[in-house]
Amino acid sequence: MGRLGSIFRELQTISGKPYVTKEKEELLCYSYDATGISHLPDMVVFPGSEIEISKILQMASKEKLIVVPRGTGSGMTGGSVPVKGGLIMVLTRMNKIIDIDEENFTVRVQPGVIVSDIHKAVEEKGLFYPPDPSSSSICTIGGNVGECAGGPRAVKYGVTRDYVLGLRAVLPSGKVIQTGVSTAKGVAGYDLTRLIVGSEGTLAVVTEITLKLLPKPEAVKTMAVLFDSMAKAARTVSGIMKNTVVPRCVEYLDEACLHLIRDHLKFDPAKNIKALLIIELDGAIDTVEKDAERIKAFCFASDALDVMTAKTPAEAQSLWEARKALSPVLYKLAPHKINEDIVVPINKIPDMVEATQRIQRTSGLKVVSFGHAGDGNIHCNIMYDKSNGDERYRAEKALKELFRETLRLGGTITGEHGVGITKKRFLPDEIGETQIELMRGIKTVFDPLNILNPYKIFE
């Protein structure tokens, strides 16, 4: 039967025959993520419980079998790609919202729950889960925990780690641990919860997550602010944060973005419009109205061409749908893209925008940027054709320059996508070898056999 055949049979015993496969056509479906990088696994399993995951990892430790946890594969850095084969563990069957505690403002969920389903479920009860990645309609909360996802609301509310109170997780050995608390405070021992959040599935397989909730805001107001230069828009962002109030979202789109999503917008961006800010406020009705007027006045004082306010939830939704349509329509510019999620200090956004425009000129490639300007998180897309050797060389050179400028300005090479395999060669430039050695030591403590999602973050 052979080693893999024996492992396959044992997996069938643990999870059931319908939930294990080694058919090539099905393996292909789980060989890649949103990067398009593809490596074929040896087999795929769809566990339905924590007990099954524990048994699978016990067996994997005994057999020294690589296991790669996965949600829906929406990651941007190859974090769930099985670069050396092994077993893909797909957690989408574990998709229950276990409990919404309205009195204590918490929700317990399994890792396979789609994030937008959490939003809907808690909002029906007058509660609010702020993290809101652009892929929230397809990504899982387990993947969000693994990558410490953010999204537009992070400027006011923070990112996934700020809402994870506790976890249940299975170590590579098969042992089950429960970390954190279900209370507002808790400092008993090292914070293993925060260590696992953002660890990209390299330390443990998360099986249950306790999330902190907030009261649902009474009112939300969405505004579109138009500028005739990206530099003015960038300066306005840092000015808003310093001189007015903190919105829950401040997104920006450059001129190339506006051309790409013209058909999705309810207004026609004139030729002199070079940048768009989407600003969203929330809170008490009276407060939101006053804050909106302050921001509107500040934007006009900062040379905005126009400030438009969504009059209905449908108008606001259409604006966000246009923003979320950007990633797929970028391929109108070129067949491939390098999608980076750099972050710089808010007051350095104008400098970073200038740097991206310079990189576009020097590379001769389209460099399109948009993103969460309110917290300095810029999604910079270098568009190119992989089949063209010269373009491939120029794209790589542009990427290195982008990261150099980001670090020079005091920023970081990733704000929410993680390191995975696409950025690990650049990680030493940001954190240095001493920190990498500490991380290797932590990985060894959790996973001495190096079977859980190896070859990610660092070698």
Answer for the pair 246, 226: CB distance below 8 angstroms, yes or no: no
Least confident segment among 310-324, 404-418, 438-452: 310-324
Distance CA(459)–CA(76), nearest Å, equals 19
Distance CA(67)–CA(85), nearest Å, equals 9
The pLDDT, as a whole number, for residue 156 is: 96
Q: Does residue 139 register a pLDDT over 90?
A: yes
Q: Does residue 380 register a pLDDT over 80?
A: yes
The pLDDT, as a whole number, for residue 270 is: 65
What is the pTM assigned to this prediction?
Answer: 0.95
pLDDT band at 269 (very low <50, low <70, confident <90, very high): low
Determine the residue type at 35: T
* Percent share of the chain, pLDDT over 90: 87
The pLDDT, as a whole number, for residue 327 is: 83
SS3 448: coil
Query: Could you write out the three-class secondary structure of 177-209?
Result: EEEECCCCCCCCCCCHHHHHCCCCCCCCEEEEE
Instruction: Determine the average pLDDT of the residues in 34-61.
Output: 97
With tokens 């949103």, the residue in question is 34
Domain range 219-322, its CATH number among 2.40.170.20, 1.20.120.1200, 3.30.70.2190, 1.10.10.10 = 3.30.70.2190
Q: Strand order in 43-45's β-sheet?
A: 20-21, 43-45, 87-90, 67-70
Average confidence score pLDDT of the chain: 95
pLDDT band at 262 (very low <50, low <70, confident <90, very high): confident
**Residue whose C-alpha is closest to residue 424's, from 202, 210, 262, 150:** 202
**Which fold is adopted by the domain 99-215?**
3.30.465
Q: Phi and psi (nearest 5°) for 130?
A: -70, -45
Distance CA(99)–CA(81), nearest Å, equals 32
Least confident segment among 28-32, 201-205, 227-231, 280-284: 227-231
Q: Does residue 268 register a pLDDT over 80?
A: no
Return the structure tokens found at 276: 């768009």
Q: What is the tally of helices (H) and strands (E) in the chain?
A: 15, 18
- 180-194, 230-244, 340-354, 420-434: which has the highest mean pLDDT? 420-434
The pLDDT, as a whole number, for residue 264 is: 74
Instruction: Determine the average pLDDT of the residues in 52-73.
Output: 98
**Would you tell me the crossing angle of helices 230-243 and 349-363 to the nearest 10 degrees?**
160
Two domains, one topology: 219-322 and 333-408: yes
The one-character DSSP state at 216 is P
For the chain, the domains span 99-215, 219-322, 333-408
SS3 256: helix
Instruction: Determine the average pLDDT of the residues in 228-238.
Output: 91
Helix ranges restricted to H, 244-283: 255-260
**Which fold is adopted by the domain 333-408?**
Alpha-Beta Plaits (3.30.70)
SS3 15: helix
| DSSP output for 120-163 | HHHHTTTEE-----TTTTT-BHHHHHHHT---TTHHHH--GGGT
